[in-house]
Chain A
Amino acid sequence: MIVADRKSLEEILAMVADNKKILILGCKGCVTVCNVGGLKEVEILTSSLKIARKKLGKPLDIDIQVLERQCDNEYVAELSESVNDYDGVISMACGVGPQFLSEMYKTQVFYPAVNTTFFGGATQHGVWEERCAGCGTCGIHMFGGLCPIARCAKSLLHGPCGGSSEGICEVNADTECIWDSIVKKKMEAGQLEDLMGVKGLKDWTTARDGGPRRSIREELVQGKI
Protein backbone atom coordinates (compact mmCIF):
# COMPACT_ATOMS: atom_id res chain seq x y z
CA MET A 1 0.00 0.00 0.00
CA ILE A 2 0.96 3.64 -0.30
CA VAL A 3 2.08 5.06 3.02
CA ALA A 4 1.97 8.72 3.99
CA ASP A 5 2.58 10.96 6.99
CA ARG A 6 0.49 13.97 7.91
CA LYS A 7 1.98 17.41 7.56
CA SER A 8 2.27 19.56 10.66
CA LEU A 9 -0.76 21.57 11.74
CA GLU A 10 1.31 24.70 11.30
CA GLU A 11 1.87 23.91 7.62
CA ILE A 12 -1.75 23.04 7.00
CA LEU A 13 -2.98 26.12 8.87
CA ALA A 14 -0.72 28.30 6.72
CA MET A 15 -2.20 26.80 3.54
CA VAL A 16 -5.75 27.76 4.51
CA ALA A 17 -4.90 30.90 6.49
CA ASP A 18 -7.05 33.14 4.30
CA ASN A 19 -9.91 30.67 3.86
CA LYS A 20 -13.21 30.92 5.72
CA LYS A 21 -14.91 27.77 4.50
CA ILE A 22 -13.13 24.62 3.46
CA LEU A 23 -13.71 20.98 2.74
CA ILE A 24 -11.49 18.30 4.23
CA LEU A 25 -11.54 15.31 1.98
CA GLY A 26 -10.45 11.87 3.14
CA CYS A 27 -9.88 8.72 1.14
CA LYS A 28 -10.94 5.17 1.99
CA GLY A 29 -7.94 3.66 0.19
CA CYS A 30 -4.38 3.24 1.41
CA VAL A 31 -4.39 6.31 3.66
CA THR A 32 -7.27 4.89 5.66
CA VAL A 33 -5.34 1.67 6.16
CA CYS A 34 -2.19 3.51 7.25
CA ASN A 35 -4.24 5.72 9.59
CA VAL A 36 -3.39 9.05 8.04
CA GLY A 37 -6.28 10.12 5.82
CA GLY A 38 -9.40 8.14 6.66
CA LEU A 39 -12.56 9.34 8.44
CA LYS A 40 -10.98 9.34 11.90
CA GLU A 41 -8.00 11.40 10.76
CA VAL A 42 -10.24 13.75 8.83
CA GLU A 43 -12.22 14.38 12.05
CA ILE A 44 -9.12 14.92 14.13
CA LEU A 45 -7.69 17.38 11.62
CA THR A 46 -11.05 19.15 11.45
CA SER A 47 -11.24 19.57 15.21
CA SER A 48 -7.59 20.64 15.41
CA LEU A 49 -7.98 23.29 12.73
CA LYS A 50 -11.19 24.55 14.32
CA ILE A 51 -9.49 24.90 17.70
CA ALA A 52 -6.59 26.78 16.13
CA ARG A 53 -8.82 29.17 14.24
CA LYS A 54 -11.16 29.78 17.19
CA LYS A 55 -8.06 30.66 19.18
CA LEU A 56 -7.20 33.24 16.52
CA GLY A 57 -10.74 34.62 16.56
CA LYS A 58 -11.07 33.65 12.89
CA PRO A 59 -13.36 30.61 13.01
CA LEU A 60 -13.07 28.22 10.12
CA ASP A 61 -16.13 26.58 8.65
CA ILE A 62 -15.24 23.00 7.75
CA ASP A 63 -17.23 20.35 5.94
CA ILE A 64 -15.91 16.82 5.73
CA GLN A 65 -16.26 14.02 3.25
CA VAL A 66 -14.46 10.75 2.60
CA LEU A 67 -14.32 9.41 -0.94
CA GLU A 68 -14.11 5.74 -1.76
CA ARG A 69 -10.87 6.54 -3.59
CA GLN A 70 -9.45 9.85 -4.70
CA CYS A 71 -7.41 8.13 -7.42
CA ASP A 72 -10.47 7.21 -9.41
CA ASN A 73 -12.39 9.76 -11.50
CA GLU A 74 -15.63 7.87 -10.87
CA TYR A 75 -15.47 8.85 -7.19
CA VAL A 76 -13.81 12.21 -7.70
CA ALA A 77 -16.84 13.14 -9.80
CA GLU A 78 -19.04 12.88 -6.68
CA LEU A 79 -17.84 16.36 -5.75
CA SER A 80 -19.04 18.04 -8.92
CA GLU A 81 -22.03 19.70 -7.26
CA SER A 82 -20.30 20.91 -4.11
CA VAL A 83 -16.64 21.45 -4.88
CA ASN A 84 -16.97 25.14 -5.64
CA ASP A 85 -18.83 25.92 -2.41
CA TYR A 86 -15.48 26.17 -0.66
CA ASP A 87 -12.58 28.61 -0.53
CA GLY A 88 -10.26 25.63 -0.66
CA VAL A 89 -10.15 21.85 -0.29
CA ILE A 90 -7.70 19.91 1.86
CA SER A 91 -7.04 16.43 0.55
CA MET A 92 -5.83 13.81 2.98
CA ALA A 93 -5.15 11.27 0.23
CA CYS A 94 -1.71 10.38 -1.10
CA GLY A 95 -0.19 12.65 -3.73
CA VAL A 96 -2.42 11.09 -6.36
CA GLY A 97 -5.66 12.40 -4.85
CA PRO A 98 -5.12 16.16 -5.04
CA GLN A 99 -3.93 15.73 -8.62
CA PHE A 100 -6.99 13.83 -9.79
CA LEU A 101 -9.03 16.52 -8.04
CA SER A 102 -7.04 19.37 -9.61
CA GLU A 103 -7.36 17.81 -13.04
CA MET A 104 -11.15 17.47 -12.77
CA TYR A 105 -11.90 20.75 -11.00
CA LYS A 106 -9.65 23.28 -12.61
CA THR A 107 -10.77 26.39 -10.71
CA GLN A 108 -10.58 24.95 -7.20
CA VAL A 109 -7.43 24.80 -5.04
CA PHE A 110 -6.54 21.44 -3.47
CA TYR A 111 -4.05 21.41 -0.60
CA PRO A 112 -2.14 18.23 0.27
CA ALA A 113 -2.39 17.53 4.01
CA VAL A 114 -0.08 14.55 3.88
CA ASN A 115 3.40 13.78 2.60
CA THR A 116 3.37 10.59 0.55
CA THR A 117 6.36 8.56 1.61
CA PHE A 118 6.61 5.02 0.26
CA PHE A 119 5.12 1.69 -0.78
CA GLY A 120 5.15 -0.54 2.24
CA GLY A 121 3.22 -2.28 4.95
CA ALA A 122 2.72 -2.39 8.71
CA THR A 123 5.36 -4.41 10.52
CA GLN A 124 3.49 -3.90 13.78
CA HIS A 125 0.48 -1.87 14.86
CA GLY A 126 1.38 1.75 14.23
CA VAL A 127 4.66 1.09 12.37
CA TRP A 128 5.00 1.03 8.59
CA GLU A 129 8.10 0.19 6.58
CA GLU A 130 9.16 0.60 2.98
CA ARG A 131 9.27 -2.50 0.83
CA CYS A 132 9.09 -1.41 -2.80
CA ALA A 133 10.63 1.41 -4.82
CA GLY A 134 8.39 0.96 -7.85
CA CYS A 135 11.40 0.60 -10.16
CA GLY A 136 9.31 -1.16 -12.79
CA THR A 137 11.49 -4.27 -13.12
CA CYS A 138 11.03 -6.61 -10.18
CA GLY A 139 13.82 -9.03 -9.38
CA ILE A 140 13.28 -9.75 -5.71
CA HIS A 141 13.42 -13.49 -6.35
CA MET A 142 17.14 -13.08 -7.06
CA PHE A 143 17.71 -11.66 -3.60
CA GLY A 144 15.95 -14.13 -1.36
CA GLY A 145 12.68 -12.24 -1.82
CA LEU A 146 14.07 -9.06 -0.28
CA CYS A 147 14.42 -5.92 -2.39
CA PRO A 148 17.81 -4.19 -2.25
CA ILE A 149 16.64 -1.38 -4.54
CA ALA A 150 14.08 -0.20 -2.01
CA ARG A 151 15.66 -1.39 1.20
CA CYS A 152 19.39 -0.74 0.78
CA ALA A 153 20.26 2.94 1.29
CA LYS A 154 22.56 2.70 -1.74
CA SER A 155 20.35 0.36 -3.80
CA LEU A 156 23.30 -1.99 -4.15
CA LEU A 157 22.87 -5.08 -6.32
CA HIS A 158 26.07 -6.55 -4.87
CA GLY A 159 26.02 -5.79 -1.18
CA PRO A 160 26.50 -5.46 1.68
CA CYS A 161 28.69 -2.36 1.67
CA GLY A 162 31.47 -1.73 4.14
CA GLY A 163 29.16 0.11 6.50
CA SER A 164 27.04 -2.87 7.47
CA SER A 165 27.47 -3.61 11.15
CA GLU A 166 25.73 -6.31 13.15
CA GLY A 167 22.83 -6.31 10.74
CA ILE A 168 22.31 -2.56 10.95
CA CYS A 169 22.62 -0.04 8.13
CA GLU A 170 25.28 2.65 8.50
CA VAL A 171 22.75 5.33 7.63
CA ASN A 172 20.36 4.82 10.52
CA ALA A 173 20.57 2.77 13.69
CA ASP A 174 16.86 1.91 13.31
CA THR A 175 17.29 0.50 9.81
CA GLU A 176 18.22 -3.08 9.18
CA CYS A 177 20.88 -3.82 6.61
CA ILE A 178 18.82 -5.70 4.08
CA TRP A 179 21.98 -7.11 2.49
CA ASP A 180 22.86 -8.70 5.80
CA SER A 181 19.52 -10.51 5.66
CA ILE A 182 19.89 -11.40 1.98
CA VAL A 183 23.38 -12.83 2.44
CA LYS A 184 22.50 -14.77 5.56
CA LYS A 185 19.40 -16.24 3.96
CA LYS A 186 21.35 -17.30 0.88
CA MET A 187 24.19 -18.75 2.94
CA GLU A 188 21.81 -20.73 5.11
CA ALA A 189 20.09 -22.09 2.02
CA GLY A 190 23.43 -23.00 0.48
CA GLN A 191 22.72 -20.73 -2.47
CA LEU A 192 25.66 -18.37 -2.21
CA GLU A 193 26.44 -18.81 -5.93
CA ASP A 194 23.27 -16.83 -6.68
CA LEU A 195 24.99 -13.74 -5.31
CA MET A 196 28.27 -14.25 -7.15
CA GLY A 197 29.07 -12.77 -10.54
CA VAL A 198 28.26 -9.31 -11.77
CA LYS A 199 24.64 -8.57 -12.59
CA GLY A 200 23.96 -6.59 -15.73
CA LEU A 201 23.46 -2.87 -15.21
CA LYS A 202 19.93 -2.16 -14.14
CA ASP A 203 17.65 -0.78 -16.81
CA TRP A 204 16.13 2.26 -15.18
CA THR A 205 13.91 3.14 -18.14
CA THR A 206 11.09 1.32 -16.38
CA ALA A 207 11.62 3.45 -13.27
CA ARG A 208 10.89 7.16 -12.93
CA ASP A 209 14.10 7.79 -14.89
CA GLY A 210 12.29 6.80 -18.08
CA GLY A 211 9.79 9.62 -17.58
CA PRO A 212 6.25 9.45 -16.18
CA ARG A 213 4.87 5.96 -16.55
CA ARG A 214 1.62 4.53 -17.77
CA SER A 215 0.13 1.07 -17.58
CA ILE A 216 -2.36 -0.13 -20.17
CA ARG A 217 -4.65 -3.19 -20.07
CA GLU A 218 -5.86 -3.17 -23.62
CA GLU A 219 -8.65 -5.66 -22.96
CA LEU A 220 -10.24 -3.11 -20.66
CA VAL A 221 -9.79 0.01 -22.73
CA GLN A 222 -12.89 1.35 -24.46
CA GLY A 223 -12.32 3.87 -27.21
CA LYS A 224 -9.08 5.74 -27.67
CA ILE A 225 -6.36 5.97 -25.03
Chain B
Amino acid sequence: MSELKSGSNLEKVLTAGHFAFTGECGPPKGANTKHLLGKFKYLKGNVDCVNLTDNQTAVVRMSSLAASSLMVGQGLEPNFQMVCRDRNRLAMMSDILGAHALGVRNMLCLSGDHQSFGNHPQAKNVHDIDSMQLIAMVKKMRDEGKFMNGDDIDVPPEMFIGAACNPFADPYEYRVYRLANKIEAGADFIQTQCIFNMEKFRDFMKKTVDMGLHEKSYILAGVTPMKNAGMANFMKKFVPGMDIPDELINRLKGVEKKDQAEEGIKFALEQVEEFKAMEGVAGVHMMAIEWEHRVPEIAKRAGMLPRPVV
Protein backbone atom coordinates (compact mmCIF):
# COMPACT_ATOMS: atom_id res chain seq x y z
CA MET B 1 0.00 0.00 0.00
CA SER B 2 2.89 2.35 -0.65
CA GLU B 3 1.88 4.06 -3.88
CA LEU B 4 -1.35 6.04 -3.72
CA LYS B 5 -4.14 4.70 -5.86
CA SER B 6 -6.43 7.67 -5.77
CA GLY B 7 -4.71 10.37 -3.77
CA SER B 8 -7.86 10.89 -1.72
CA ASN B 9 -7.57 12.34 1.75
CA LEU B 10 -9.02 9.15 3.21
CA GLU B 11 -6.38 7.08 1.46
CA LYS B 12 -3.62 9.38 2.67
CA VAL B 13 -4.87 9.37 6.25
CA LEU B 14 -5.05 5.58 6.27
CA THR B 15 -1.75 4.93 4.53
CA ALA B 16 -0.03 7.35 6.92
CA GLY B 17 -1.24 5.07 9.72
CA HIS B 18 -3.76 7.41 11.27
CA PHE B 19 -6.98 6.15 12.83
CA ALA B 20 -9.57 7.29 10.29
CA PHE B 21 -12.83 9.00 11.19
CA THR B 22 -15.43 9.22 8.44
CA GLY B 23 -18.93 10.68 8.45
CA GLU B 24 -22.14 10.29 6.55
CA CYS B 25 -24.69 12.62 5.03
CA GLY B 26 -27.97 11.89 3.28
CA PRO B 27 -28.70 14.19 0.32
CA PRO B 28 -32.01 16.07 0.59
CA LYS B 29 -35.41 14.91 -0.65
CA GLY B 30 -35.40 17.78 -3.09
CA ALA B 31 -33.02 20.17 -4.75
CA ASN B 32 -32.50 22.13 -1.54
CA THR B 33 -28.78 22.75 -1.67
CA LYS B 34 -28.95 25.31 1.12
CA HIS B 35 -29.96 22.66 3.65
CA LEU B 36 -27.31 20.29 2.31
CA LEU B 37 -24.51 22.86 2.46
CA GLY B 38 -25.64 23.64 6.00
CA LYS B 39 -25.11 20.01 6.97
CA PHE B 40 -21.66 20.01 5.34
CA LYS B 41 -20.57 22.77 7.74
CA TYR B 42 -20.98 20.48 10.72
CA LEU B 43 -18.82 17.84 9.08
CA LYS B 44 -16.04 19.98 7.67
CA GLY B 45 -12.79 19.53 9.56
CA ASN B 46 -14.36 16.95 11.86
CA VAL B 47 -14.11 13.90 9.61
CA ASP B 48 -11.73 12.63 6.93
CA CYS B 49 -14.41 12.10 4.34
CA VAL B 50 -18.18 11.95 4.17
CA ASN B 51 -20.34 9.20 2.64
CA LEU B 52 -23.04 10.59 0.37
CA THR B 53 -25.77 8.00 0.36
CA ASP B 54 -27.29 6.80 -2.91
CA ASN B 55 -31.09 6.79 -2.62
CA GLN B 56 -30.66 5.31 0.82
CA THR B 57 -33.32 2.75 1.83
CA ALA B 58 -34.57 3.15 -1.74
CA VAL B 59 -36.06 6.56 -1.02
CA VAL B 60 -35.54 9.05 -3.84
CA ARG B 61 -33.14 11.82 -2.93
CA MET B 62 -30.79 14.15 -4.73
CA SER B 63 -28.22 12.11 -6.67
CA SER B 64 -25.25 11.02 -4.60
CA LEU B 65 -22.95 12.07 -7.43
CA ALA B 66 -24.39 15.60 -7.56
CA ALA B 67 -24.18 15.89 -3.78
CA SER B 68 -20.60 14.60 -3.89
CA SER B 69 -19.73 17.28 -6.41
CA LEU B 70 -21.31 19.98 -4.24
CA MET B 71 -19.25 18.68 -1.36
CA VAL B 72 -16.01 18.91 -3.36
CA GLY B 73 -16.94 22.52 -4.02
CA GLN B 74 -17.14 23.15 -0.28
CA GLY B 75 -13.67 21.76 0.35
CA LEU B 76 -14.81 18.52 1.98
CA GLU B 77 -14.02 15.09 0.73
CA PRO B 78 -16.95 12.94 -0.38
CA ASN B 79 -17.22 9.17 -0.39
CA PHE B 80 -19.55 8.65 -3.34
CA GLN B 81 -21.91 5.75 -2.67
CA MET B 82 -23.16 3.72 -5.62
CA VAL B 83 -25.80 0.99 -5.47
CA CYS B 84 -26.41 -1.73 -8.04
CA ARG B 85 -30.17 -1.33 -7.76
CA ASP B 86 -30.58 1.78 -9.89
CA ARG B 87 -27.93 1.62 -12.61
CA ASN B 88 -26.79 -0.85 -15.23
CA ARG B 89 -23.14 -1.25 -16.11
CA LEU B 90 -23.28 1.54 -18.68
CA ALA B 91 -24.65 4.08 -16.22
CA MET B 92 -22.22 2.91 -13.57
CA MET B 93 -19.10 3.27 -15.69
CA SER B 94 -20.31 6.59 -16.97
CA ASP B 95 -20.97 7.90 -13.44
CA ILE B 96 -17.59 6.62 -12.24
CA LEU B 97 -15.88 8.62 -14.98
CA GLY B 98 -18.08 11.60 -14.17
CA ALA B 99 -17.22 11.30 -10.50
CA HIS B 100 -13.52 11.44 -11.23
CA ALA B 101 -14.02 14.44 -13.51
CA LEU B 102 -15.88 16.22 -10.68
CA GLY B 103 -13.03 15.63 -8.27
CA VAL B 104 -14.47 12.65 -6.40
CA ARG B 105 -11.79 10.17 -5.28
CA ASN B 106 -13.60 7.73 -2.95
CA MET B 107 -16.38 5.34 -3.82
CA LEU B 108 -18.42 2.90 -1.78
CA CYS B 109 -19.78 -0.02 -3.81
CA LEU B 110 -23.09 -1.44 -2.55
CA SER B 111 -25.87 -3.78 -3.64
CA GLY B 112 -28.51 -1.35 -2.36
CA ASP B 113 -31.59 -1.84 -0.23
CA HIS B 114 -34.44 -3.45 -2.11
CA GLN B 115 -36.85 -0.95 -3.64
CA SER B 116 -39.72 -2.49 -1.68
CA PHE B 117 -38.39 -0.62 1.39
CA GLY B 118 -38.50 2.74 -0.30
CA ASN B 119 -40.99 5.27 -1.53
CA HIS B 120 -41.30 3.89 -5.07
CA PRO B 121 -41.78 0.19 -4.38
CA GLN B 122 -43.36 -0.28 -7.82
CA ALA B 123 -40.02 0.46 -9.52
CA LYS B 124 -38.13 -2.06 -11.63
CA ASN B 125 -34.73 -2.79 -10.15
CA VAL B 126 -31.62 -3.23 -12.25
CA HIS B 127 -29.03 -5.50 -10.60
CA ASP B 128 -27.21 -5.91 -13.89
CA ILE B 129 -24.10 -6.56 -11.79
CA ASP B 130 -23.70 -7.02 -8.05
CA SER B 131 -21.58 -5.20 -5.48
CA MET B 132 -18.74 -7.72 -5.77
CA GLN B 133 -18.57 -7.14 -9.51
CA LEU B 134 -18.88 -3.38 -9.05
CA ILE B 135 -15.79 -3.41 -6.85
CA ALA B 136 -13.91 -5.41 -9.48
CA MET B 137 -15.20 -3.10 -12.21
CA VAL B 138 -13.94 0.08 -10.55
CA LYS B 139 -10.60 -1.63 -9.94
CA LYS B 140 -10.30 -2.69 -13.57
CA MET B 141 -11.16 0.80 -14.75
CA ARG B 142 -8.61 2.33 -12.40
CA ASP B 143 -5.74 -0.15 -12.57
CA GLU B 144 -6.04 -1.43 -16.13
CA GLY B 145 -7.60 1.69 -17.63
CA LYS B 146 -10.18 -0.50 -19.35
CA PHE B 147 -13.92 -0.55 -19.73
CA MET B 148 -15.64 -3.87 -19.10
CA ASN B 149 -15.55 -4.63 -22.83
CA GLY B 150 -11.77 -4.26 -22.81
CA ASP B 151 -11.68 -0.88 -24.57
CA ASP B 152 -9.15 1.63 -23.30
CA ILE B 153 -10.29 4.49 -21.11
CA ASP B 154 -8.94 7.92 -22.01
CA VAL B 155 -7.82 9.04 -18.51
CA PRO B 156 -8.90 6.29 -16.14
CA PRO B 157 -10.79 7.20 -12.98
CA GLU B 158 -8.74 7.23 -9.79
CA MET B 159 -10.85 5.94 -6.96
CA PHE B 160 -10.17 4.70 -3.48
CA ILE B 161 -12.51 1.73 -3.52
CA GLY B 162 -14.74 1.01 -0.59
CA ALA B 163 -17.09 -1.83 0.21
CA ALA B 164 -19.59 -2.57 2.95
CA CYS B 165 -19.61 -5.46 5.34
CA ASN B 166 -22.40 -6.55 7.64
CA PRO B 167 -21.06 -8.97 10.24
CA PHE B 168 -24.53 -9.20 11.77
CA ALA B 169 -26.34 -10.63 8.80
CA ASP B 170 -26.67 -14.38 8.34
CA PRO B 171 -25.21 -16.89 7.85
CA TYR B 172 -22.62 -15.54 10.28
CA GLU B 173 -19.98 -18.20 9.52
CA TYR B 174 -19.87 -17.03 5.92
CA ARG B 175 -19.60 -13.29 6.54
CA VAL B 176 -15.84 -13.25 6.96
CA TYR B 177 -15.41 -15.13 3.67
CA ARG B 178 -17.65 -12.64 1.91
CA LEU B 179 -15.49 -9.88 3.34
CA ALA B 180 -12.40 -11.70 2.09
CA ASN B 181 -13.97 -11.93 -1.33
CA LYS B 182 -14.70 -8.22 -1.45
CA ILE B 183 -11.12 -7.44 -0.48
CA GLU B 184 -9.87 -9.89 -3.08
CA ALA B 185 -12.09 -8.21 -5.65
CA GLY B 186 -10.39 -4.90 -4.97
CA ALA B 187 -11.85 -3.16 -1.91
CA ASP B 188 -9.20 -0.78 -0.52
CA PHE B 189 -11.29 -0.03 2.53
CA ILE B 190 -14.32 -1.48 4.27
CA GLN B 191 -17.05 0.29 6.19
CA THR B 192 -19.11 -2.01 8.35
CA GLN B 193 -22.81 -1.87 9.10
CA CYS B 194 -23.66 -0.08 12.39
CA ILE B 195 -22.25 -2.12 15.23
CA PHE B 196 -24.24 -2.50 18.43
CA ASN B 197 -23.46 -6.08 19.39
CA MET B 198 -19.85 -5.63 20.49
CA GLU B 199 -19.38 -9.21 21.57
CA LYS B 200 -20.21 -10.50 18.12
CA PHE B 201 -18.07 -7.85 16.46
CA ARG B 202 -15.06 -8.77 18.61
CA ASP B 203 -15.42 -12.34 17.44
CA PHE B 204 -15.81 -11.22 13.85
CA MET B 205 -12.68 -9.07 14.00
CA LYS B 206 -10.74 -11.93 15.50
CA LYS B 207 -11.69 -14.09 12.53
CA THR B 208 -10.82 -11.21 10.19
CA VAL B 209 -7.41 -10.77 11.74
CA ASP B 210 -6.78 -14.54 11.78
CA MET B 211 -7.28 -14.51 8.02
CA GLY B 212 -4.97 -11.51 7.68
CA LEU B 213 -7.66 -9.44 5.98
CA HIS B 214 -6.82 -6.32 7.99
CA GLU B 215 -3.44 -6.26 6.27
CA LYS B 216 -4.98 -6.22 2.83
CA SER B 217 -7.65 -3.58 3.39
CA TYR B 218 -8.52 -0.89 5.92
CA ILE B 219 -11.49 -1.82 8.05
CA LEU B 220 -13.58 1.01 9.47
CA ALA B 221 -16.03 0.09 12.21
CA GLY B 222 -19.54 1.51 11.77
CA VAL B 223 -21.00 3.45 14.68
CA THR B 224 -24.44 5.04 14.97
CA PRO B 225 -25.27 6.97 18.13
CA MET B 226 -28.78 6.16 19.28
CA LYS B 227 -30.98 9.20 19.82
CA ASN B 228 -33.32 7.39 22.19
CA ALA B 229 -34.70 3.98 23.11
CA GLY B 230 -37.46 4.37 20.51
CA MET B 231 -34.90 4.60 17.71
CA ALA B 232 -33.16 1.48 19.02
CA ASN B 233 -36.46 -0.39 19.13
CA PHE B 234 -37.39 0.75 15.65
CA MET B 235 -34.05 -0.29 14.17
CA LYS B 236 -34.21 -3.65 15.89
CA LYS B 237 -37.66 -4.34 14.49
CA PHE B 238 -37.64 -2.76 11.06
CA VAL B 239 -34.13 -2.32 9.69
CA PRO B 240 -32.93 -5.51 8.01
CA GLY B 241 -29.61 -6.91 9.11
CA MET B 242 -29.47 -4.99 12.42
CA ASP B 243 -28.35 -6.70 15.60
CA ILE B 244 -29.32 -4.56 18.60
CA PRO B 245 -28.86 -6.31 21.94
CA ASP B 246 -31.53 -5.85 24.60
CA GLU B 247 -28.86 -4.63 27.04
CA LEU B 248 -28.40 -1.52 24.91
CA ILE B 249 -32.14 -0.87 24.72
CA ASN B 250 -32.43 -1.39 28.48
CA ARG B 251 -29.49 0.91 29.08
CA LEU B 252 -31.21 3.69 27.11
CA LYS B 253 -34.53 3.01 28.80
CA GLY B 254 -32.74 3.09 32.15
CA VAL B 255 -32.26 6.85 31.99
CA GLU B 256 -34.83 9.62 31.74
CA LYS B 257 -36.10 10.34 28.25
CA LYS B 258 -34.33 13.70 28.06
CA ASP B 259 -31.03 11.99 28.89
CA GLN B 260 -31.35 9.14 26.41
CA ALA B 261 -29.53 10.99 23.63
CA GLU B 262 -26.56 11.59 25.94
CA GLU B 263 -26.61 7.92 26.93
CA GLY B 264 -26.62 6.96 23.25
CA ILE B 265 -23.63 9.18 22.58
CA LYS B 266 -21.83 7.77 25.62
CA PHE B 267 -22.28 4.24 24.30
CA ALA B 268 -20.97 5.34 20.89
CA LEU B 269 -17.93 6.97 22.52
CA GLU B 270 -17.20 3.80 24.50
CA GLN B 271 -17.35 1.90 21.24
CA VAL B 272 -14.90 4.29 19.57
CA GLU B 273 -12.49 3.90 22.47
CA GLU B 274 -12.60 0.13 22.12
CA PHE B 275 -12.18 0.28 18.34
CA LYS B 276 -9.07 2.46 18.69
CA ALA B 277 -7.43 -0.41 20.54
CA MET B 278 -9.00 -3.30 18.62
CA GLU B 279 -6.63 -5.20 16.36
CA GLY B 280 -7.52 -4.85 12.71
CA VAL B 281 -9.73 -1.79 13.04
CA ALA B 282 -8.27 1.12 11.06
CA GLY B 283 -10.89 3.71 11.86
CA VAL B 284 -14.48 4.49 12.64
CA HIS B 285 -17.31 5.32 10.28
CA MET B 286 -19.67 7.56 12.24
CA MET B 287 -23.20 7.38 10.85
CA ALA B 288 -24.99 10.06 12.83
CA ILE B 289 -28.30 9.69 11.01
CA GLU B 290 -29.95 13.12 10.64
CA TRP B 291 -27.73 14.22 13.50
CA GLU B 292 -24.95 15.91 11.54
CA HIS B 293 -25.03 18.88 13.92
CA ARG B 294 -23.91 16.62 16.76
CA VAL B 295 -20.85 15.38 14.85
CA PRO B 296 -18.50 18.18 15.96
CA GLU B 297 -19.25 17.37 19.59
CA ILE B 298 -18.99 13.61 19.04
CA ALA B 299 -15.68 13.97 17.18
CA LYS B 300 -14.29 16.14 19.94
CA ARG B 301 -15.39 13.90 22.78
CA ALA B 302 -14.10 10.85 20.90
CA GLY B 303 -10.67 12.45 20.81
CA MET B 304 -10.76 12.54 17.05
CA LEU B 305 -9.86 16.21 16.71
CA PRO B 306 -8.00 17.74 15.12
CA ARG B 307 -8.16 15.53 12.04
CA PRO B 308 -4.74 14.82 10.57
CA VAL B 309 -3.66 16.87 7.56
CA VAL B 310 -1.62 14.72 5.21
The answer on a CB contact under 8 Å between B171 and A162 is no
Given contacts A154-B130, A160-B169, A183-B174, A165 and B184 within 8 Å (CB-CB): no
Name the 6 nearest CB pairs between A and B, nearest first: A162-B166, A170-B240, A158-B132, A163-B240, A162-B241, A198-B136
The answer on a CB contact under 8 Å between B114 and A166 is no
Binding site for A on B (CB under 8 A): 84-85, 89, 111-114, 116-117, 125, 127-133, 135-137, 148, 164-166, 169-171, 173-174, 177-178, 180-181, 184-185, 193, 240-241
The answer on a CB contact under 8 Å between B114 and A158 is no
Given contacts A158-B131, A162-B166, A153 and B171 within 8 Å (CB-CB): no
A151 to B30, CA, bound (A): 35
The answer on a CB contact under 8 Å between B114 and A163 is yes
The answer on a CB contact under 8 Å between A161 and B111 is yes
Given contacts A164-B170, A171-B116, A201-B89, A158 and B130 within 8 Å (CB-CB): yes
For the complex with contacts A160-B174, A162-B165, A184-B171, 6 further pairs of A-B residues with Cβ separation under 8 Å are A163-B169, A163-B240, A165-B169, A187-B174, A198-B136, A201-B129
Q: Which residue of A162, A180, A192, A201 contacts B240 across the interface (Cβ within 8 Å)?
A: A162
Report the minimal beta-carbon distance from B249 to chain A, rounded to whole angstroms: 18
A214 cross-chain contacts in B, Cβ below 8 A: none
The answer on a CB contact under 8 Å between A156 and B130 is yes
Report the minimal beta-carbon distance from A63 to chain B, rounded to whole angstroms: 38
* CB-CB nearest in chain B for A192: B177
Binding site for B on A (CB under 8 A): 153-167, 170-172, 177, 180, 183-184, 187, 192, 195-199, 201-202, 204
The total number of A-B Cβ pairs within 8 Å is: 102
Report the minimal beta-carbon distance from A174 to chain B, rounded to whole angstroms: 13
Given contacts A154-B114, A163-B241, A204 and B128 within 8 Å (CB-CB): yes
The answer on a CB contact under 8 Å between A158 and B170 is no
A195 to B148, CA, bound (A): 22
A19 to B187, CA, bound (A): 63
